Amino acid sequence: MDDIRFAVLGTGGIGRRTLEVSQHKDGLTAVAACDRNGVAIDHDGLDVDELLETTEGNIASGPQSSPDQLSGGEPRDSGLDGASDSTPATPTDDFASDGGAAAVEGGGGGVKQHGEQAGIVASEQGDPTETPIDDIIAESDAIDAVLLALPNLEHDFIPRVAERFAEADYEGVMVDVLKRSRVIGMLDNREEKLKESGITFVCGAGATPGFLTGAAALAAQSFVEVEEVEIWWGVGLKSGYEDNRGTVREDIAHLDGYDIETAREMSEDEIEALIDEHDGVLEFHDMEHADDVLLERAGICDAEDVHVGGVLDVRSDEKPTTTTVSVTGTTFDGETGTNTFELDDATSMEANVNGPALGYLKAGVRNNRAGHYGVFGPADLMPGF
């Protein structure tokens, strides 16, 4: 396969780690990255080391946002609907990094060129911009694939970003690492637009649902009928906590008594208090986590037969439980069995998100070049099970 030139939207934990992992993979060249304040584009390939060094622990937008700033006024990305090209987005409208609560400057605060929370503009390669996504779209003719390492605290944020690329007639691959069932339907609703544009959209391509639904699709091959898929994950996130506050906030939305709206509106103090209350360890059951929808659409089993849960420990780097996928089914010869896939506890969440995300990105490019457009789940890209 020819070289793949890719862009990363979002340089929080996931975006930066993806850039890092891509350096270990053949045939992948990072040519663009952006956060809410800036954009770095070099079609000959970014200097990833420099970019990572300058943005490490230095994410555009920080943990100090208040719920008012996040949710106040009109929706953060309201400018993205419809004719976004003719309505230049404001910084807060345009973007949210996954470095935690997004849009910290509320009504459009100033761009910091240096120091903490400057983000990508602290890099020599970064230029400040009020329209980072539009800036990437403007260069997208020379970009084969776009990884959306964005949080998705509004359900339709990622679908709407996809729509903007489609409106600009982008022909290429888009990959997200989302983990919320209902977003898949929102992408499906836009499938015609994506197809017309020539976009191959791979959704949920991170550790879970991506990696683990891929494993489930594979493990299901012993069976002619799958009765149940159990996905159970463990994440130790002590050293990665600051980089992944956005992800943690998304997880909180899956706790009993919380939903995406209440999680979005929590202040950082409230989140810290909640974590304290649980001694740093959050346990999740029956998460609405996209795995269900993605396995159903790949024909593996009914969504209702998929159960997802896990344990997150933000005060230790040790995994609090072993990540496993168990697929129970019936064989053609009438036996019932459970095949399992287990990740070593030593493999970090970051390793398990970014390797698969780039793998699915490559698979997306293969499909895109073969003319397969539309919305795909990771399990759809497995050998035609």
Q: Is 354 in the site for a second copy (CB under 8 A)?
A: yes
DSSP 308-367: EEEEEETT-SS-SS--EEEEEEE-TTS-EEEEEEE--TTS-HHHHHHHHHHHHHHHHHHH
Q: Is 2 in the site for a second copy (CB under 8 A)?
A: no
Ranges within 180-239 binding a second copy (CB under 8 A)? 211, 214-215, 218-219, 221-225
Cβ 243 to a second copy shortest distance, Å? 12
Query: Could you count the other beta carbons within 10 Å of the beta carbon of residue 219?
Result: 21
Residue from 58, 129, 208, 348 touching a second copy (CB under 8 A): that is 348
Cβ 380 to a second copy shortest distance, Å? 10
CB-nearer residue toward a second copy: 170 or 211: 211
Q: Is 352 in the site for a second copy (CB under 8 A)?
A: yes
10 is annotated as contributing to ligand binding: yes
Query: Could you count the other beta carbons within 10 Å of the beta carbon of residue 268?
Result: 17
Is 24 one of the annotated active-site residues of the chain? no
Query: Which run of H or E residues covers position 136?
Result: helix 132-138
Residue from 63, 109, 198, 359 touching a second copy (CB under 8 A): that is 359
Q: Is 385 in the site for a second copy (CB under 8 A)?
A: yes
CB-nearer residue toward a second copy: 26 or 277: 26
Mark residue 162 as left, alpha or beta (left: phi above 0; alpha: psi -120 to 50; beta: remaining): alpha
Q: Is 315 in the site for a second copy (CB under 8 A)?
A: no
End-to-end CA distance of the chain: 23
Question: How many residues of this chain interact with a second copy, rule: CB under 8 A?
Answer: 58
Structural contact between residues 207 and 356, judged by C-beta atoms closer than 8 angstroms: yes
Residue 241 structure tokens: 């906590």
Q: Are strands 281-284 and 306-313 parallel, antiparallel or unpaired?
A: antiparallel
Cβ 284 to a second copy shortest distance, Å? 21
13 is annotated as contributing to ligand binding: yes
Is 283 one of the annotated active-site residues of the chain? no
Q: Is 356 in the site for a second copy (CB under 8 A)?
A: yes
Q: Is 342 in the site for a second copy (CB under 8 A)?
A: yes
For residues 220 and 384, give the distance between their C-alpha atoms in angstroms, rounded to a whole number: 12
Q: Which stretch binds a second copy (CB under 8 A): 38-46, 49-57, 128-136, 368-376?
A: 368-376
Q: Is 3 in the site for a second copy (CB under 8 A)?
A: no
The arrangement of strands across the sheet holding 172-176 comes to 127-128, 38-41, 28-34, 4-9, 145-148, 172-176, 199-202, 374-376
Query: Which run of H or E residues covers position 13?
Result: helix 13-22
Q: Is 382 in the site for a second copy (CB under 8 A)?
A: yes
Query: Could you count the other beta carbons within 10 Å of the beta carbon of residue 188?
Result: 17
Is 254 one of the annotated active-site residues of the chain? yes
The residues assigned a catalytic role are 179, 250, 254
Binding site for a second copy (CB under 8 A): 1, 17, 20-21, 24-26, 211, 214-215, 218-219, 221-225, 299, 331-333, 335-348, 350-352, 354-356, 359-366, 370-372, 378, 381-385
